Structures are given as C-alpha cells and as structure tokens.
Amino acid sequence: VVQRNERKKRGKNYALPSILDDFFGVYCLLSRSSNRYFKNRCYIGYTVNPNRRIRQHNAGKEFGGAKKTDHRGPWDMVCIIHGFPNSVSALRFEWAWQNPEKSRRLRPLNLKKRTSETAFGFRLRIACHMLNSDPWRRLSLTFRWLLPELEIPFPLDVLPPSHIAVEHGAVTKISTLIPQLQEEYDVAGTCSLCLKPILSISELLRCHANETCKSHFHMRCLSKHALNAVDEYRTSLFPIQGQCPKCGVVYLWGDLIRDQRILLAVNKFNSSGTLFNMIPRGKLIKM
C-alpha cells in the first residue's frame, strides 16, 4: 500500500496503477470496393480492439485481416455492439448475427432480405431482432454508430429495447484507477438483504449509487429480489434491471456485473498485499 507521505515524496510524476476495462464487441463492416461484385457487402466480426481490427481488415490477411475481407475493401466499420459480459457471450452473438437461419433463437423468425433492403439494412434488422430476443435482450448492451454519416434509421417494427444505449463515435480505451490507501477500502461485510456474510468478491454486487448508499449484496439475493419484483423468478436467471432495496436507485444488471468484474481485477492486483479481499469504497475513477 502506498501511504500518503510516500505519494508526496514521489511528487507529481507518481501515477496510480490502473487496469484496462474489458471490451467485447461485435461489429459490422461495409465494403467500399470499386469492384461491383464486392461493393456494399457486409462482414460481421468479433473484436476486443475495434480500432486495431479495422486497420487489420484493410491491411489484408497477411496483417491479421480475415480471409473473407482480403482484397474486397476498403472497409468501413459502421457499427459495433458492445458491453457483453465475456468473450463467449460476444462470440455467440457474432455467430447468430452471421447465421440467423441456423440460430435456434432466430430461425423461427425466418428472416429474409427484402427487395428494397440494402445488405447493411438487412444486417441491422437482424441485429435489432437479436436485441429483442433471449438471451441477448436481457444484457445491458450498447449499440454504437462508429461512422455517424453512415447511420440509417432502426426498423420501426423492431426498435432496440429501451435499456440498450445508442451512442455515436469511436471507441476509446477506458482504464480504472486502483486505489492505494487503506482508508479507500472496506470489508465485504454482510448482505443487506439476507444479513449473512459475503465470503467472496465473486458473489458480491454493490449498489449502483455506491457513493451514497454503500449497500453490498449477495448476487443471488439481489437477483431474486429484482426478479420477484417483476414476477420472473421462476423463468429467468437474472433480471434486466431493478431497484436497490435500500436506496431505491434504478440499476441495469449488466452494469453491476461489470462493476463486479472490475472489483475482481482490482483484488487480483492487490493479491500480494494487505488490501487483498478488500472492497474499494465508492465509485472507482475512470480515465
């Protein structure tokens, strides 16, 4: 642990350690090839770094691009859907977006390209159906238009769910600063619902308004509370959103899971010191 007097000795050049936040995204490319056969074709892919990935696609297969995009560009990365809890979830979304006719979730919809529809318009409609279908409709995802000048309206008959964020602009890397002072941490304590001890960070969720509420919960207790509130406890594993039982703030379940993943990463960083298994107080600082 770096104490306050040690920080002062190091002066302005001292930088707090940080961890890079997870990013799992599924994107859609649009070909701008001068070859009529390839122009306006779409390609769906998965990435943890969209800025690097588009450079690879346009550089060619020998530089990390895909076989299906080699010599068929240049390509524009029009949009990306991100916020998946892990790579497996994102890769499953990628496969279903690529193969709606084979997906168990999408096959019954019998999605076909309409005569008046562009290739990208069709891919956008498929994505919107996916965002309204299980299991993806329960995730707190973000639909990001990377090139706003290529944005087209969402299909009116299948708009993204209201909890899906729609954003514009390039993806930027986000890091979380790791607190270094003992007083910036607290013990996991007890669950504010069942009042039993929380034995592991892997089963802990914090209130979204943790600056003021500071409530800790077992994941299973908070999930049950939120699902019971909408009568979904017997049919769903986790809620889409809920209200903190203590302060009433509305949260998205996916946001709490992302916070938990960061807490686990912070704890791994602190594994060799006195802060191991301690919980940072309040919201962590992003940069």
pLDDT, one tens digit per residue, over 196-255 is 999 999 999 999 776 789 899 999 999 999 999 999 999 999 999 999 999 999 999 999
For residues 114 and 47, the answer to whether their CB atoms sit within 8 Å is: no
For residues 220 and 256, the answer to whether their CB atoms sit within 8 Å is: no
- For 36, other C-beta atoms within 10 Å of its C-beta total 7
pLDDT score of 8: 47
pLDDT score of 209: 77
Angle (nearest 5°) at CA 21 between 92 and 131:
35
Please name each of the domains of the chain with its CATH number: 22-168 (no CATH), 179-280 (3.30.40.10)
How confident is the model over 116-154, as pLDDT tens digits?
999 999 999 999 999 999 999 999 999 999 999 999 999
For residues 253 and 242, the answer to whether their CB atoms sit within 8 Å is: yes
Instruction: Report strand pairing: 25-31 vs 75-82.
Output: antiparallel
Confidence at 2, pLDDT banded by 50, 70, 90: very low
Range 80-101 average pLDDT: 98
CA distance 195 to 279: 18
For residues 198 and 191, the answer to whether their CB atoms sit within 8 Å is: yes
> φ and ψ at 167, to 5 degrees?
-130, 170
How confident is the model over 8-44, as pLDDT tens digits?
444 555 678 999 999 999 999 999 999 999 999 999 9
> Burial letters for 131-152: b for 16+ Cβ neighbours within 10 Å, e otherwise?
bebeebbbbbbbbbbbeeeeee
